Structure 1
Amino acid sequence: MKLRYSALYIAMSLVLAPGVVLAADQDAAPQGASSQNTPSQGGPSQGGPSQGVASPADKKVKQLDAISVSATKRETPLQKTPVAVSAITPDTLDKERVMTVQDLTKLVPGLQGTSEGDHGVVTLTLRGIGNDSAKTEYADPEVATFVDGVYAPRAEAASGLLLDMDGVEVLRGPQGTLWGRNSTAGAISFQTAKPEIGAGFYGNAQVEAGNYNQIGARAAFNLPISDTFAMRVAVVHEQHDGYVDYQNPSSELPSVAQQQQAYLASGGSLANFKAIDPSQYVQGGQKYNSQDQSAARVSALWQPSDSFKWNLSYEYFVDRGTPDLSLMQTPRQGQDFWSALIDTAPYLDRTSKTLRSRMDWNINDGMQLSYIAGYNRYSGKSDFDQDVGVAVPTSFTTGGVYQDDRTNYSNYESWSQEVDLKSTGPQTVDWIVGAYYGYEDNNIRFDIPIMNGTRYGSVNWQGSFIQPKETVESYALFGQATWHITDHWRLTGGARWSHDDKENKGGINWGWDYNPAVPQVPISPGVTPDPSNGFSISQRNSAKYSKSKPTWLLRLDTDVGANGLLYASVSTGYKSGGTQDAGTLYKPETLTNYEIGSKFTFLDGHMTWNSAIYYEDFKNFQLSAPIVYPDGNHGLGFSNVGGSTKVLGIESELAYQQKDDRFNLIFSAIPKKELGTLIYAGSNDYQGLPACPPASNLANCMNVTGNDLPHAPNVSLTGIYEHDFHLSNGGRLTPRISAQYQSTQWLSYFNLGSGDQQKAYTRGDLSLRYTEPGDKWWVNAYVQNVSDDKIRTSAGRFLMSDGSLQYVSQYLAPRTYGVQLGVWF
């Protein structure tokens, strides 16, 4: 909380401080870093007019072909980089109000984000490939995340990555050669803003306010220390009230007489009857789907000579908001859509501390050595109403369940080191070789009390999953070379050898033993499960996994005239296998990607058009889900899909910038996304599946062979347009419209009908920004989700006591609006 108010105080002080020299506009981005997706208005001054630095109006990026990216681990022009990559600037992150990784989805072809409530995380799908359950100490994501070149293994920390960004690159397709394991579908590379030596003191600040009591503040400034040393400090806080209101239990619960009747019908006696206490339902306090996040980063740059520099940063992120709740797709009569009957108060407490370091030595004019290292410690606790108030109990122990998904603690530590040696300057062969080492040490306790009726009813089932030590150790050697065959033809080859060791030490799943002699009460965080309180060991999870895997790349590219590029590539990706409940091992998944791409520049650099056609062939594709075993115990199960999982897609990005107009079109089509062979697929999120044979080791399941992959609409299209109107006083008024269309998409591998789909939709955002004549400050009014559409990002279903099925979903935010004020100084 102290950090939150400190962030607000600093930002407000910077905005209101008298005598500050204001020099540039927040809606500008540094030259050379503008976006393929949304070209920038211009670049911020770094010292103010008094220091003779060009104003933003003088530094406008007029040519989109000046954009550079680091997709190949060296700075190259985007239009000359034969990789499917989307580059997004700070300007775009600001104007599109990108607060989390999920907010990037409309800016990247084929990228989808799914909220997962019980852990408060976002899981990503790219080109139809993702993993909705990549949110525990076991699962790894298919889309790898890097910050300043440091791999971030925990999805839980992803929302803390968007503070004071210098840019975001999304690399689509397998990146196993240069970027490593767990990048089978792609990789997201975040670049933080770095200190600048010799640039003087400068910075920016911003405050905002909106509906749902939304307030935000952020600030960043460069600190010149000496001719060889500089620092940068950035802080941010964002918060808003929850979107989900609490329903009044008095209007939902049956009368006492009706409760007695239901209890007697179940075999109970009036002597043991208890009336449902309405006070057990949550009526106040924090609501679900709220935000309360703060972060701070201190960065340092030491450059004692032209041949050596060292970037070092420490980042602190806290999240005290609440998880996102699944809502009934069809609310009960008389209830608002954004409301629920809640018996578990929301709680989320996450802290992430990260240290990142990068050293670069220019050994000579043709060679550079880099050392990249990072350390992260993440810890989190949460409480989540897993029954989401779907079934109203008929008595204190009948007609529905009470289920609290509770993370008592989760602690993740990770270290990584990478050494790269690469060529620099003009070479006949551009090359890079490197070595990587990463280590994780994780532990978690996760409790699931499930009670019949209410929390005071009898135990339906409950368990405690205690994993005291889960380790991951990863090694890799890699190399890649590009041979300039002629001035216009290039051949690239690369390979990587990866080795992974994973071990679960002492992990135990405790399940309910149904001993009638013990009290029928939900397990508490301070209680250690054992036979004396009704638990027995359902599974011992100690196990070791060890495997090596090579990945490789072969690519040919050629210039088409002075303003075109064509490339064709074959590449492979790899996501490691591992251990799971009961000490069972699951296999690694592999991918072969065939891709043809083009990049063209038109109108003297004012328009670019980049496209790719790809075909992906997966083997042993990993699916994970919470499941119920035949003996009634619960766990997390992994399945390797047999045969080939196949995806065929087309992507295209068009960007136009001419004087006062900026336009973008982002297109993705995935006509084929077919799951391989999986006869026994189960998930607790989908109740009412058919009973499974004992050989499946599942209580309920269904055959999903050949089904469509979820989160992969046939067509997705985003359009963004803005225009500068020059006012008589010299200021600018810039309206901006951003709209996204997506065709119907499945929300799970089960393909169960309309409740398991998000139908086709169009979602639009509007903003109007005024920039004062001297580019000193700006004010912006915005509306997001203008039509207030209810857009599902996930689905699940409950089996009701009458045999009916009730679908629930996570949803994108309702309509939000607000005003922002920013300054450059």
Structure 2
Amino acid sequence: MAYGLCSVPAAAQDAAASATPAENAPAANLSAAEPEAPAQTEAPAAPADDTQIVITAQKRSENVQDVPISVAAFSGATLEKMNVVNIEGLAKVTPNLNVAKGAQTSYVRLAIRGIGAASNTTVEPSVAAFLDGAYVPRVGAVISSMLDMESVEVLRGPQGTLFGRNASVGAVSFHTARPKFGDNVSGDVTAEIGNGDRYKLTGVVNVPIGDKAAFRFAGSQQWFKGYWHNDFDDKQVGGTDDSILRGSFRADVGPVEWVFRADYAKIKGDAATNIDFDRSSVSEKQFAGITAFFGAPDTNLNDKHMNQFLTAHVNDEQWGLNSTLSWDVGGGSTVRLINAYRDWQNTQLDGDVVFMPSKLVSRTAPYDSKSQNHELQFISPTNQWLDGRFDLVAGLYYFHEKYEQGERLRLNSQFCKIVPNSALPSPPFPPGSTQKMLCNQLLAASGGTVEDAAVQDVHQTTDSYAAYAQANFHFTDQFFATLGGRYSKDQKEGSYDQQANVLLRTTVRAPESLTLPDIDDSRFTYRLGLNYEPNNDMLFFGTYSTGYKSAGYNSGAGFPSITQPGGAGTPVFPERRVFDRETTGDWELGAKTSWLDHKLTLNLTLYRMNIKGFQDRSFNGTSFTVRNAGNLRHQGFEFDGVAKPWRNVSLFASVAYLDSEFTDYPDASNWPGFGSIPGSPLTQDLKGKPATFAPKWSGRLGFDVNGDIGSGGYSWNFNSNLAFTSKFYGGLVNDANPQTIVDGYALLGARASLNGPGDRWTLSLFGNNLLDKQYEAGNLYQFLEGSGALAALFRNGEFNGSTAVRRLHADPRTVGASLTFRY
């Protein structure tokens, strides 16, 4: 079963090599692709038995119970049963994995064990994302949907040896379905409907060409209007139209196998997020002033309404190519060459950035990433070298990315209400001129809006080189050691340019233009492990592994409040545009066990991670900045259990405990409201405090039941999953502000299916968050909460440094139905 870490006997690996893929394998199987030589690194086939679970966490096909790593692995069929249709849903079935989304679709924050980084900046990710073996540098482009997936593997803990510098706390590996050989054309078509006016069509076709070649095509089109109602203009918002196409070709020619893939995805719509105003974060007097100044924002965290001026629109387009060439060089060894290219472009007008029912400031944010991966691998056999005592995985790697991001601020018709009435210098302005007078003149001259009032362009080019090797040494049939190392060299160059008109230089953005200093960083990361396997059903392991994120550039906008002393409009100094590397060291003790003839699986991993030079990205009310923020310690455990008391019943339970603590952070940001209290400190010591997005407890409980209906060939299936998370700090700033605490929540999902004779058709009813829990995915401080006269509206010393807070409303209850025909 693939409900997390699954039960697999050691001998099942040989069985998997001879198993034939089931036409409709049980959803509990970790299906991946057809079985091949033991050295293969492509995702393996759906096994005929649900105990034959195979993963590729160590670049070769291995049973999950034989891999001394904390892994959560799921087949595409299992993900469908649990209603996981995108990367955000993956967190609901994987404890210690968090996927946070923000106001921009380009903002996706993957975190494992409480550590992650946003994808819409120049900061390297902490959790690396891989698609068919190729690294995807921007998580916002990792995958548009779980279309025609074979499997997904979540590797928890540093993966610096085999997966590189961007996997300092873990990796998520996506495998799409490979073309299957055979005699007949096969495929399926699915029509789906859901609330929020959501309609979707999906199709897959597999076309064999003889016994050694095949094509596979998959595509989907979704129309979605959204879950939210904007009271400002009485419109339904939050939706997108998604188009996805994927094609692949596979051929075997003697000892060589080649798999070629191409994909294309496009997302268009408003993609608006519901960011409610937290009424309790301000006083009665403040809220009355806010309402009089801006109009009344929506403050009900328990409904589907919002109230703000909205001009949102997103255009996200990506395409990619992947070539995987595998050559059996004899003796059970394989040489594999992976070449991949990905082009991702995202442009989003994300509405009024103050989120108020006033026409103030809108932002357009363009992102453009062009990347290529080239990796040459050598995978030895597992049972032939030195009488089966030694095996090896080694490789050479090159990565290149050209990345551009930017920002365009537009002043809307009511912007002048937030401009201070302070005097302008004369000259160059006429005597007695004020900023508010100038603002009204500019808006009047431009017809009510000022385009490109602030323009930011950031460019970064990255080249990364690496060589790695990892070997297993079997001292006896029961003891073996794992030793691996990777040398990485990273080179970066970039530039930063921001221009702003005079109205924004003291309130929102500071002019700045510079060529960033070149970065030349290198690091050796390694893994040491000692493992004990007393029998085929038990594996105990102890591991120390390291990872790192390379030095980088701070792409946050220059703003007076984060600048060096020197007066309004002073830019971020060049030395603050560069931050140093972040390193991770991780101790793990684990056990993977199977009991009662594999009817019960119990796996446990204890860990302690130390992160030095933590690259902290904080938000100061108008823009982001990154710096090395001292040391952070995360420790805890991950438990996964699966029981199969009867042939058609599966029970699963997973729980993760996380103890997060800064061990050194003497000059962390203080709560923003302290800036309104005379003499109050602007920094604080966070030693002993937890990081954001680090809940102490997370987990899930569930079951899967199936059966037959009479003797006519009909069958049924019912699956349910309850995911829970305890409270955590959910703000964008590490400041341990109690205002940013997100309450714990539990989400119930279920799917019921009826299958026709021979599984030729399936009718399903499904839902997520069935109890309609109104919960928040995270929060942020009100934009412009500390700017000039607005600070008096949003900040209140009566509440000990508090400020106005916005809550990102997560998805409400979603329900739907689908009908699938197979041929």
Q: TM-score scaled to structure 1, two decimals?
A: 0.80
SS of 1:774 mapped into structure 2 = helix
Q: How far apart in 2 are the matches of 1:682 and 1:32?
A: 57
Q: How far apart in 1 are the matches of 2:492 and 2:32?
A: 46
Contact 1:357 1:374 in 2 (8 A): yes
Contact 1:247 1:339 in 2 (8 A): yes
Structure 1 equivalent of residue 492 of structure 2: 502
Contact 1:689 1:702 in 2 (8 A): no
Q: How far apart in 2 are the matches of 1:541 and 1:794?
A: 35
Matched, 1:312 2:260: yes
Task: Choose from 363, 368, 378 the match for 1:405.
Answer: 363
Seen in structure 2, the aligned counterparts of structure 1 residues 34 and 654 have a Cα distance that, compared at 3 Å, is farther
Seen in structure 2, the aligned counterparts of structure 1 residues 332 and 105 have a Cα distance that, compared at 3 Å, is closer
Q: Match for 1:316: what amino acid?
A: Y
Q: Deviations over 1:255-314 (max 9, x none)?
A: xxxxxxxxxxxxxxxxxxxxxxxxxxx444x61x32321211110112111x11011111
Q: Which aligned pairs between 1:20-169 and structure 2 lie closer than 5 A?
A: 30=21, 39-40=28-29, 61-64=48-51, 66-131=52-117, 133-136=118-121, 138-160=122-144, 162-169=146-153
Q: How far apart in 1 are the matches of 2:730 and 2:331?
A: 53
Q: How far apart in 2 are the matches of 1:468 and 1:745?
A: 33
Contact 2:454 2:501 in 1 (8 A): no
Seen in structure 2, the aligned counterparts of structure 1 residues 455 and 693 have a Cα distance that, compared at 3 Å, is closer
Task: Choose from 603, 612, 618 the match for 2:596.
Answer: 603
Which has the higher mean CA deviation after the structures are superposed, 230-239 or 177-186? 230-239
- Would you identify which runs of 4 or more consecutive aligned residues in structure 1 move more than 6 Å? 32-35, 41-46, 333-336, 459-463, 691-694
Q: How far apart in 1 are the matches of 2:349 and 2:504?
A: 27
Task: Choose from 599, 603, 623 the match for 2:616.
Answer: 623
Deviation at 1:468, TM superposition (A): 5.7
Structure 2 equivalent of residue 478 of structure 1: 468
Q: Which aligned pairs between 1:746-765 and structure 2 lie closer than 5 A?
A: 746-748=729-731, 749-750=733-734, 752=736, 755-765=739-749
Q: How far apart in 1 are the matches of 2:771 and 2:636?
A: 30
Q: How far apart in 2 are the matches of 1:153 and 1:730?
A: 47
Contact 2:248 2:260 in 1 (8 A): yes
Contact 1:327 1:338 in 2 (8 A): no
Q: Deviations over 1:195-214 (max 9, x none)?
A: 12235311122111011111
Task: Choose from 586, 589, 597 the match for 1:593.
Answer: 586
SS of 2:654 mapped into structure 1 = strand
Contact 1:318 1:351 in 2 (8 A): yes
Q: How far apart in 2 are the matches of 1:745 and 1:222?
A: 45
Deviation at 1:471, TM superposition (A): 0.3
Contact 1:707 1:750 in 2 (8 A): no
SS of 1:79 mapped into structure 2 = helix
Structure 2 equivalent of residue 206 of structure 1: 190
Deviation at 1:455, TM superposition (A): 6.9
Q: How far apart in 2 are the matches of 1:333 and 1:359?
A: 56
Structure 2 equivalent of residue 448 of structure 1: 409
Contact 1:101 1:122 in 2 (8 A): no
Query: RMSD of the alignment, in Å?
Result: 3.2
Q: Deviations over 1:776-803 (max 9, x none)?
A: 1111111211111112111113346544
Q: How far apart in 2 are the matches of 1:365 and 1:808?
A: 61
Seen in structure 2, the aligned counterparts of structure 1 residues 230 and 733 have a Cα distance that, compared at 3 Å, is closer
Deviation at 1:619, TM superposition (A): 0.5
Q: Which aligned pairs between 1:652-671 and structure 2 lie closer than 5 A?
A: 652-657=639-644, 658-670=646-658
Q: Match for 2:109: what amino acid?
A: T
Task: Choose from 550, 559, 562 the match for 1:576.
Answer: 550
Task: Choose from 653, 676, 690 the match for 1:708.
Answer: 690
Contact 1:794 1:810 in 2 (8 A): yes
Seen in structure 2, the aligned counterparts of structure 1 residues 62 and 435 have a Cα distance that, compared at 3 Å, is closer
SS of 1:559 mapped into structure 2 = strand
Q: Deviations over 1:450-487 (max 9, x none)?
A: 67954787479996353363101100010111011111
Deviation at 1:614, TM superposition (A): 0.3
Q: Which aligned pairs between 1:514-529 and structure 2 lie closer than 5 A?
A: 514=503
Q: Match for 2:547: what amino acid?
A: G
Contact 1:691 1:701 in 2 (8 A): no
Structure 1 equivalent of residue 818 of structure 2: 820
Contact 2:611 2:633 in 1 (8 A): yes
SS of 2:88 mapped into structure 1 = helix
Seen in structure 2, the aligned counterparts of structure 1 residues 342 and 556 have a Cα distance that, compared at 3 Å, is same
Deviation at 1:663, TM superposition (A): 1.5
Matched, 1:546 2:554: no
Structure 1 equivalent of residue 723 of structure 2: 740
Seen in structure 2, the aligned counterparts of structure 1 residues 435 and 692 have a Cα distance that, compared at 3 Å, is farther
Structure 1 equivalent of residue 292 of structure 2: none
Q: Which aligned pairs between 1:371-520 and structure 2 lie closer than 5 A?
A: 371-385=337-351, 387=353, 389-390=355-356, 402-407=360-365, 409-426=366-383, 427=385, 428-449=389-410, 454=415, 458=419, 464-467=454-457, 469-505=459-495, 507-514=496-503
Q: How far apart in 2 are the matches of 1:122 and 1:439?
A: 21
Percentage of pairs with the same residue: 23
Contact 1:320 1:348 in 2 (8 A): yes
Contact 2:108 2:119 in 1 (8 A): no
Deviation at 1:447, TM superposition (A): 2.1
State the number of aligned residues: 707
Deviation at 1:702, TM superposition (A): 4.7
Deviation at 1:161, TM superposition (A): 5.4
Seen in structure 2, the aligned counterparts of structure 1 residues 200 and 711 have a Cα distance that, compared at 3 Å, is same
Q: How far apart in 2 are the matches of 1:118 and 1:43?
A: 32
Q: Match for 1:653: what amino acid?
A: D
SS of 1:194 mapped into structure 2 = coil
SS of 2:776 mapped into structure 1 = coil
Structure 2 equivalent of residue 531 of structure 1: none
Seen in structure 2, the aligned counterparts of structure 1 residues 474 and 465 have a Cα distance that, compared at 3 Å, is farther
Seen in structure 2, the aligned counterparts of structure 1 residues 656 and 219 have a Cα distance that, compared at 3 Å, is farther
Q: Deviations over 1:694-733 (max 9, x none)?
A: 9x9xx96554343211222111120121212432244223
Seen in structure 2, the aligned counterparts of structure 1 residues 773 and 45 have a Cα distance that, compared at 3 Å, is farther
Contact 1:715 1:742 in 2 (8 A): yes
Which has the higher mean CA deviation after the structures are superposed, 765-774 or 702-711? 702-711
Q: How far apart in 2 are the matches of 1:715 and 1:425?
A: 38
Which has the higher mean CA deviation after the structures are superposed, 79-88 or 650-659? 650-659
Contact 1:32 1:68 in 2 (8 A): no
Seen in structure 2, the aligned counterparts of structure 1 residues 453 and 682 have a Cα distance that, compared at 3 Å, is farther
Q: TM-score scaled to structure 2, two decimals?
A: 0.80
Q: Deviations over 1:151-176 (max 9, x none)?
A: 00012213425221110011110000
Q: How far apart in 2 are the matches of 1:97 and 1:62?
A: 23
Contact 2:33 2:178 in 1 (8 A): no
Unaligned ranges ≥5, structure 1: 1-28, 47-58, 249-281, 394-400, 524-534, 629-633
